[in-house]
Structure 1
Amino acid sequence: METINVKTWETAVLDGGPADGLRMKVADRPRVIQVTYPCQVEAAPQGLRADGVYIYRRDHDSASEPLRYGFDIASP
C-alpha cells in the first residue's frame, strides 16, 4: 500500500454549484476538486449506480485559508 506524505492540511470552501458552501480539509492545495452526487436510477440491475460529476477549480487569488474553489460550469 502506498503511503501519502502530506505536508499541510488547509481548510477549503466550495463556491457555487451543487456543493456551494461545503467546507473541507485539503492537502497540498490541489488545483481541482471533484464532487459526485448520486442520481436516481429506474429499473437498474443489482449493484448499478449513477453519479453526477462536478468540478471545482482553485481560485489562484486565494492565498490564505480558507482556500476557495469555484464551480466549473463547463464540467459534465
Structure 2
Amino acid sequence: MAGDGVREQETAVLAGGPADGMRIKVTERPGVLQVTLPCVVEVPAGDARVGALYVYRRDLRVAEEPLRYGFDPASP
C-alpha cells in the first residue's frame, strides 16, 4: 500500500477460457477472479438477467507484473 492510503494496482493477464489475453488491473493480488458474460434471454422475466460465470485462479509462481490468472475449467 502506498503511504498516502491509495492501494497500489498491478497489471494481470488472464490465460485461457473466454477472457484469454485480457489485461486488467488488480489490487492486493486476489487469489481468484470471476468473469461474467451476459447470456441472451429468450423470454423476458422482468428485470432478471442471466450471466455465465468463469473462474480464473492466480498462478502463484508468477511474482512480478504482469501477474497471471489461469482459467479454471472445473469451476464453479
Percent identity of paired positions between Structure 1 and Structure 2:
60
Q: Distance in 2 between matches of 1:18 and 1:54?
A: 8
Q: Which consecutive unaligned segments of at least 5 residues does structure 1 have?
A: none
Runs of 4+ in 1 over 4 A off after TM superposition: none
Backbone CA RMSD of aligned residues: 1.2
Q: Which residue of 1 aligns with 2:40?
A: 40
Task: Tell me how many residue pairs correspond in the alignment.
Answer: 72
TM-score where L is the length of structure 1:
0.88
Deviations 1:44-72, CA, capped at 9 Å, x for gaps: 21211100000000000011000000000
Q: Which consecutive unaligned segments of at least 5 residues does structure 2 have?
A: none
Matches within 5 A, 1:21-60: 21-60=21-60
